[in-house]
């Protein structure tokens, strides 16, 4: 890739971080504090950990609190403002194609890297010895529940919309709200009271998001510190090859694939986009949840000139359907286990794994850990014995949170890349705002 472009991206990211230096400091201090806590065993460690977990959970719960009202109002406003069916179909098709392209590329890159570096060779013994016992029961349940694609798809159709709202089941919520919003768009002017109601809901939830973000730095600090403290850094040495392959894959997505994608499909510069959404990327890393980050992702995009019409339609669907980082991780993880247990990866098996990975990643939810549950879909039918499956899967759980933070950052980055490309194609982007961050800083949304 072009060196100049890389430098531009780094400089822009630096500027993005500078604007959000408090959140970035939260991440850095969180890593340092986590390492210290793990290294020095003092009588206070337990209490400090409890405090960290508490503060982290307060932040996480606060942002989760606004997700459902935000998603519902954003989709209803988005779909009814797009209005006519043909335009909606055009957007929808383009969105699915773009999401499909980048997720397939993520799977391809994950597969190539795992086949090239072979991180799983010789790992079998280590996997058996280190598979978290506590995770094994959960794994058995997940395998039973997630092993069947038809069962999974059926689960997306809500029998009772109120129950899916109460359970916070995002995919079912989106299915229901999309159908409801399209129906509202069809009934014409009679929809005005409901649409105005949701416009008010949207404005208020965005305001609440602004308030919650005042708490982002301590929240991200506490979340990062508690994760690092519970893992320690030895884990990096032991499974460094697996983590290295993942890290290389994620970097390729961020610094090669997305910039090329944006160049091919739009006039948006990756450097400018990353700088615009740096705050959302950092929160994605801290919370490991694309859904929880969604209010902020929408806010960042709209502040920098992406129209409300596009952002409010494309981003909620992205946070529910588009998980490139997860797809890449699932591909690497499955090949890692196959290599560890000596499964021969024929081209046919690889293609099957690739296709299943695309399905598994897009059926995942934007919450911490979801990607590792849906991986069961890919692992079933790989030819692993039940014991190997349980041990392998439970081993992946031990690294879960750490890899989740990285892949969620990539998931959110890819949502913003697609929304920027669609906004550009539809002339729904204000380049003046996008390219001049200083002008926007004070702009209220
Ligand atoms: N935590 C990820 C996300 O929210 C999903 C996953 O578990 O891979 O995007």
Q: Which atom of ligand 1 is nearest to the CA of 412?
A: 9
User: Mean of the pLDDT values across residues 246-264?
Assistant: 94
Judge if the beta carbon of residue 330 lies within 6 A of ligand 1: no
Judge if the beta carbon of residue 219 lies within 6 A of ligand 1: no
User: Mean of the pLDDT values across residues 228-248?
Assistant: 73
Q: Which atom of ligand 1 is nearest to the CA of 290?
A: 4
User: Mean of the pLDDT values across residues 177-204?
Assistant: 89
Point out the least confidently predicted range of 271-280, 286-295, 384-393.
384-393
- Identify the residue whose tokens are 């390492």: 35
Residue among 67, 110, 246, 289 to mutate when testing ligand 1 (max atoms within 8 A of CB): 289
Which of 98-112, 135-149, 267-281: highest mean pLDDT? 98-112
Read off the tokens for 396.
Answer: 């992946």
Judge whether 155 and 172 are in contact, CB under 8 Å: yes
3-class DSSP state for residue 233? coil
Residues 6+ apart with CB under 8 A from 372: 393, 396, 397, 400, 404
Q: How confident is the model at residue 99 (pLDDT cuts 50, 70, 90)?
A: very high
pLDDT at 252: 95
- Residue 405 alpha carbon to ligand 1 centre in Å: 8
Q: What is the dihedral of CA 203, 410, 214, 441, to 10 degrees?
A: -70
Q: How confident is the model at residue 243 (pLDDT cuts 50, 70, 90)?
A: confident
Using the predicted structure, report yes or no on whether residue 149 has a pLDDT greater than 70: no
3-class DSSP state for residue 306? strand
- Residue 287 alpha carbon to ligand 1 centre in Å: 10
Point out the least confidently predicted range of 2-11, 249-258, 264-273, 318-327.
2-11
Q: What is the pTM of this model?
A: 0.80
- Residue 242 alpha carbon to ligand 1 centre in Å: 18
User: Mean of the pLDDT values across residues 282-294?
Assistant: 88
Q: How confident is the model at residue 444 (pLDDT cuts 50, 70, 90)?
A: very low
pLDDT at 9: 64
Q: Which atom of ligand 1 is nearest to the CA of 323?
A: 9
Judge if the beta carbon of residue 397 lies within 6 A of ligand 1: no
Read off the pLDDT of residues 311-338 as tens digits, 9 standing for 90 and up.
Answer: 988 898 888 889 999 999 999 999 998 8
Residue among 290, 332, 372 to mutate when testing ligand 1 (max atoms within 8 A of CB): 290
Q: How confident is the model at residue 430 (pLDDT cuts 50, 70, 90)?
A: confident
Point out the least confidently predicted range of 52-61, 147-156, 184-193.
147-156
Q: Calculate what percentage of the chain has a pLDDT beyond 90.
A: 23
Question: pLDDT higher for 126 or 42?
Answer: 42
Q: How confident is the model at residue 223 (pLDDT cuts 50, 70, 90)?
A: confident
Judge if the beta carbon of residue 288 lies within 6 A of ligand 1: yes
Question: pLDDT higher for 60 or 354?
Answer: 354
pLDDT at 402: 78
pLDDT at 142: 61
Q: Which atom of ligand 1 is nearest to the CA of 367?
A: 4
- Closest of 140, 105, 111, 126 to residue 352, by C-alpha: 111
Using the predicted structure, report yes or no on whether residue 61 has a pLDDT greater than 70: yes
Q: How confident is the model at residue 441 (pLDDT cuts 50, 70, 90)?
A: low
User: Mean of the pLDDT values across residues 64-80?
Assistant: 84
**What residue ranges do the domains of the chain occupy?**
3-439
Residues 6+ apart with CB under 8 A from 345: 115, 335, 338, 339, 353
From its phi and psi, is residue 131 left (phi > 0), alpha (psi between -120 and 50) or beta? Answer: beta
Residue among 316, 319, 367, 372 to mutate when testing ligand 1 (max atoms within 8 A of CB): 367
User: Mean of the pLDDT values across residues 350-362?
Assistant: 88
| Superfamily for the 3-439 domain | Sodium:dicarboxylate symporter (1.10.3860.10)
């Amino acid at each position: 890739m072009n060196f100049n472009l890389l430098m531009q991206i780094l400089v822009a990211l630096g500027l993005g971080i500078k604007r959000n230096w408090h959140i970035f400091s939260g991440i850095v201090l969180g890593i340092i504090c986590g390492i210290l806590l793990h290294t020095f065993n003092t009588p206070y460690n337990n209490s400090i950990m409890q405090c960290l977990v508490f503060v982290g959970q307060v932040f996480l719960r606060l942002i989760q609190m606004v997700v459902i009202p935000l998603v519902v109002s954003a989709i209803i406003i988005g779909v009814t403002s797009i209005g006519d069916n043909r335009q909606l179909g055009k957007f929808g098709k383009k969105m699915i194609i773009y999401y499909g392209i980048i997720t397939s590329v993520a799977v391809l890159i994950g597969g190539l890297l795992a086949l090239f570096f072979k991180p799983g060779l010789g790992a079998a013994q280590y996997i058996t010895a280190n598979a978290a016992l506590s995770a094994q029961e959960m794994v058995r349940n997940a395998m039973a529940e997630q092993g069947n694609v038809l069962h999974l798809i059926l689960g997306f159709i809500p029998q009772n919309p109120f129950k899916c709202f109460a359970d916070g089941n995002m995919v079912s919520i989106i299915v229901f709200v999309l159908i409801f919003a399209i129906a509202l768009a069809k009934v014409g002017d009679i929809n005005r009271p409901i649409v105005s109601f949701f416009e008010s809901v949207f404005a208020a939830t965005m305001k609440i998001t602004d308030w919650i973000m005042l708490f982002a730095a301590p929240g991200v600090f506490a979340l990062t510190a508690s994760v690092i403290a519970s893992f320690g850094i030895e884990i990096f040495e032991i499974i460094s090859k697996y983590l290295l392959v993942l890290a290389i894959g994620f970097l390729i997505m961020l610094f090669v694939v997305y910039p090329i994608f944006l160049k091919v499909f739009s006039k948006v510069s990756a450097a400018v986009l990353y700088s615009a959404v740096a705050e959302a990327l950092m929160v994605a890393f801290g919370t490991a949840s694309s859904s929880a980050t969604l209010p902020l992702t929408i806010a960042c995009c709209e502040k920098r000139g992406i129209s409300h019409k596009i952002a409010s339609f494309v981003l909620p669907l992205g946070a529910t359907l588009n998980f490139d980082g997860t797809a890449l991780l699932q591909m690497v993880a499955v090949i890692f286990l196959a290599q560890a247990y000596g499964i021969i990866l024929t081209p046919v098996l690889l293609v099957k794994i690739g296709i299943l990975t695309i399905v598994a990643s897009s059926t995942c939810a934007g919450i911490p850990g979801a990607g590792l549950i849906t991986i069961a879909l890919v692992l079933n039918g790989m030819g692993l014995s039940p014991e190997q499956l349980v041990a392998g899967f439970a081993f992946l759980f031990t690294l879960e949170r750490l890899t989740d933070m990285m892949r969620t950052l990539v998931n959110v980055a890819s949502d913003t890349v697609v929304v920027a490309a669609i906004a550009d194609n539809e002339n729904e982007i204000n380049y003046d705002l996008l390219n001049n961050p200083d002008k926007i800083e004070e702009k209220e949304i």
